[in-house]
Chain A
Amino acid sequence: MTSIKIKLKEKDVAQLKQVCKEFNNEAGELINVLHKAQGIFGYLPAEVQEIVAQELNLSVAKVYGVVTFYSFFTMLPKGLHPISICTGTACYVRGAEKVLDEFKKQLNIKVGETTPDGKFSLSCLRCVGACGLAPVVLIGEKTYGRVSPDGVKDILKEYE
């Protein structure tokens, strides 16, 4: 558990509280509220979860439970360049795992993590529908096709 305490911007906190109010502070709207909260802050740090818990009159444990259950919700800020590796059937069969391993090695982070300098975050996707280009990697809005483990280093160089 990180011991870094984050200072949230007052206007963001005010916006969050407004969102809760718009949902009538109903506990049943937790997922909707968290979705909007992630939109405001980019991720859901402990401090945001505690505010949501208070506003919706829920235990923090319950909020944390929902955040950890859904892979869309994240407690780590995404990197400046979020990397998503497709691990759908076609890409998998054409070696997506080796590509993933190379990214992990180059960036020295695990899937779901962000590099300490905040530049890159790594995640896996299911089929993006570009099977003709397998294996596929998405970085931000850009799509890379026929990625090989050897080509990973050059791709990352583009973002230096």
Chain B
Amino acid sequence: MNKIKINIDNTIVEVEPGTTILQAARQIDIEIPTLCYMNLGDMGIEHKPGGCRICVVEVKGRRNLAPACATECTEGMEIETHNIRVLNARKTVMELILSDHPSECLLCAKAGNCDLQTIAIKMGIREIPYKGEQSTYKEDTSPAILRDMDKCIMCRRCETMCNEVQTVGVLSAINRGFMSVTAPAFERNLDHSECTYCGQCVAVCPTGALTEVDHTNQVIRNLADPNKIVIVQTAPAVRAALGEEFGLKPGTLVTGKLVAALRRLGFDYVFDTDFAADLTIMEEGTEFLDRLNKYLNGDKDVKLPMLTSCCPGWVNFFEYHFTDMLDIPSTARSPQQMFGAIAKNYFAEKINVKRENLVVVSIMPCVAKKFECTREEFSVNGNPDVDFALSTRELANLIKRANINFNKLNDEDFDRPLGESTGAGVIFGSTGGVIEAAVRTAYEIQTGKKLEKVDFEQLRGLEGIRSAKVDFNGLEVNIGIANGLGNARKLLEEVRQGKSQYHAIEIMACPGGCIGGGGQPLHHGDSSILKARQRAIYEEDANKPIRKSHENPYIIKLYEEYLGKPLGEKSHQLLHTSYFDKSKRMIEIEE
């Protein structure tokens, strides 16, 4: 097809048919401000409702200004992106948006990180001439996500994430005009809906309407309590992204500084979730081989494929929508939870501290982890294995509050015994990492041979659904990988229909895996940031002296001293779980 010639700000540009004015402008580095627009190019979704009208431009011959994000170029189009008419219109649009927005920037969790604020500042708004009633809505708090719809500007990004990308379908725009708002069906609160707390809505919200529930103050109180021993664990994905909150380039590994900062904050023991990830591989790898071998020996009842179970958003999704398959995922708990159980039993005994005086805090790239640590089955007599989960963003905030100059910190190392991890533990942070870690251990146990090369490139990548084969010394093992719940749903439907060709499937609820989690520094749909974080994860893995979970000396010691063997009685009690049918939950709540 022939290219189209257009004129933007007196520059002639040739573009493919179907290109929007915004895309054309970006090709020649002309910046047009946008607000509701969101490009999730790698997921094949471009969110361009044309609702906010911030991106309006003047098109010669058209009476009204056109939204650049949603207007396609036509041959000979003449566009002006910043003449006085356009600038005045954009200012009026912003004033109208702000006229129905609370003026609480100073108290808002998104201050400094808010798309609306950033654009308003750029426009130099000093007064809002439109005065009147402001629409208001009940505040909705859940274990993980806080909805303050007074701040919603109806950009509909959360709707697109929840419906198109994650296929959870909890949020939709309801009512009309002044009363319009984005809410769950029947205006129920999130904790009475099928929300999985994946947090992707929080990750894309341009204002403070959707944020994670803040547990920073509770953590501070415990740190200040002389009667409490406070332990912290940090997930692999955090160390690949935390630096971004301090101005470092995406993909800068800050593990050493992260540990140093946590120590400065006053945590009594700074441990590593990656240690528990190695533990997860021991349990889950053994479970997988157990099932695989039964299957190969002709057992018709054994359930394959086995699904990974470390992602709480995914577990919630599963418990709502695939209740006929609750015996298919691994029974292994997530690394966060395994850590909590080991910390409050094995480690508590070692340092002779009672469970009630031990506080376990986790730093997670995730918002669903806040929900996960409140699950009843993960507590003993009302005392949870993990007390609080903080997001990467909350940690950054905490470090800033404590006046710690993060960039000037010298690298420090995790404490022992729960701080030593292998490269396999680190790669949990990326999509494909959990299953690669499992393969490194499963291969050696199954074949009895040593792996010469531990890198399984066929499992790596960012595509939403991936297939790979791994050669277990002649036995071909089929692996499926999905990231993003919409993609997970596709693979699960195949399993349900008996069409799945896989022996094992790794599922992560967030696009990109944990590195793209709902609690990470916002990436605004820029997949180059995800790629950079992913590179950092595999880089840390490559630099580790030990790269297979079963070779971690502290893991070996843990089994020798305490657990016995994988899938043994103690493991079952502390490190495994079962799943619940939540499909009837709404009906039960209302009865």
Contact = CB atoms under 8 A, between A and B. Distances in A.
Q: Do A and B bind each other?
A: yes
A40 to B, nearest CB: 20
A39 to B, nearest CB: 22
Contact of A62 (B172, B175, B176, B591): B172
B353 interface: no
Given A46-B186, A49-B185, A61 B172 contact: yes
Contacts of B186: 1, 46, 60, 64
Contacts of B183: 61
A65 B169 CA distance: 12
Interface residues of A, number: 15
A159 interface: no
B170 A69 contact: no
Contacts of B591: 5
B188 interface: yes
A65 B590 contact: no
Contacts, number: 44
A63 interface: yes
A69 B169 contact: no
Interface in A19-70: 46, 49, 58-65, 68-69
Nearest to A65: B172
Given A5-B590, A59-B169, A69 B185 contact: no
Interface of A (DSSP majority class)? helix
Contacts of B587: 5
Nearest to A60: B185
Interface residues of B, number: 18
A3 B590 contact: yes
A53 to B, nearest CB: 8
Contacts of A64: 172, 174, 185-186
A69 B175 CA distance: 5
Contacts of B175: 68-69
Contacts of A62: 163, 169, 172
A61 B169 contact: yes
B569 interface: no
A69 B163 contact: no
A139 to B, nearest CB: 27
Interface string A66-95: 001100000000000000000000000000
B173 interface: yes
Interface string B570-591: 0000000000000000010011
Interface string B546-571: 00000000000000000000000000
Contacts of B176: 68-69
A61 B170 contact: yes
A85 B163 CA distance: 39
Nearest to A46: B186
Contacts of A1: 186-188
B184 interface: yes
Contacts of A60: 169, 185-186
Contacts of B70: none
Contact of B174 (A5, A58, A68): A68
A48 B174 CA distance: 17
Interface string B468-510: 0000000000000000000000000000000000000000000
Interface of B: 163, 169-176, 183-188, 587, 590-591
Given A1-B188, A61-B184, A65-B173, 14 more contacts: A5-B590, A5-B591, A46-B186, A58-B169, A59-B163, A60-B185, A61-B170, A61-B172, A61-B183, A62-B169, A64-B174, A64-B185, A68-B176, A69-B174
